[in-house]
Amino acid sequence: MKIIGFWLLLGLVLAVQIGLMPALRPFGAVPNLMLVFVVLVGLAGTASTALIAALIGGLLLDLTSGADFGLRIGLLVLAALVTGLVHRAGLTLAGPAVVMAVVAAGTVVENAAVLAGLAGSGTGWPLGFIVGKLALEVVLNLGLILMMRPLVARLIADAGTQSVN
């Protein structure tokens, strides 16, 4: 585990996730680069490092958000814990499929949690819009995995770590 690489990449991911992504909104959705990062770090490094990233990232995202305080800390900590369990079970050898499965599941859980918070708001529930947005977010997050994996492997994972390669 390379500590300097970890902190550099964490700063970069946070800057992009908080400043750039919500303003850019590719196709109207906000991809979750922080979730991708936490999962990749959990598989490339240790559960403790993934938890540190989850705590810092979740807290800053919650402070940026105007609603649902605690949701992002909770989701990212959960993602770090699940990734730690997956890593410990040795499933990481299965290649990118594991990362993709955890990120896709995390995206679905995050969307479900945000929508659950709106249950009493009296808003309409356009199913096509919700499914479309979710599918788009999953696709964007999976695309981000492809971009982030080589960076995490180069800057964070120790030589010989197989988990993200």
Partner 1 sequence: MHRSKASRRIVIAVGIGGFLAVLGLLGWLGPLRWVYDRTVVPVSHGLASVGSNANEALSNLGRIKSLASDNQRLQQENASLRQRLAADAEIRRDNEILRNQLGLEVAGAPKQVAAEVVAFQPDSYRQFVTINKGSREGLKPGLAAMSGGVLVGTLSDVSVTTSKIMLVTDPEFKLAAKDQDTAADGTLQGQLGNGLVMGKIGQDSQVRPGDTITTSGLGGHVPAGLFIGQVQSVNAHDNVIFQSAQISSPLKINRLRFVFVVMSP
Note the residues at the interface with partner 1 (CB under 8 A). Answer: 14-25, 28-30, 46-48, 51-52, 54-55, 58-70, 72-74, 77, 80-81, 84, 110-111, 114-115, 118, 121-126, 129-130, 133, 137
Q: Which is nearer to partner 1, 64 or 162 (CB)?
A: 64
Question: Least separation, in Å, of the C-beta of 35 and partner 1?
Answer: 11
Q: In the complex, what is the shortest distance from the CB of residue 95 to partner 1, in angstroms, rounded to a whole number?
A: 25
Q: Concatenate the DSSP letters of all residues of 87-147 into one string.
A: HHTTGGGGTHHHHHHHHHHHHHHHHHHHHHHTTTS-----HHHHHHHHHHHHHHHHHHHHH
CB of 18 to partner 1, least distance (A): 5
By C-beta, is 7 or 165 nearer to partner 1? 7
Contact 12, 162 (CB under 8 A): no
- Terminal Cα-to-Cα distance of the chain (whole angstroms): 15
CB of 89 to partner 1, least distance (A): 14
Residue 3 CB neighbours (<10 A): 10
CA separation (Å) from 9 to 12, 67, 83, 86, 97?
5, 27, 19, 23, 23
What lies within 8 Å, CB to CB, of 92 at 6+ separation is 43, 86, 98, 162, 163, 164
- In the complex with partner 1, which residue's Cβ is closer, 97 or 119? 119
Q: Which is nearer to partner 1, 15 or 96 (CB)?
A: 15
For partner 1, the closer of residues 25 and 154 by Cβ is: 25
The least CB distance from residue 157 to partner 1, in Å, is: 18
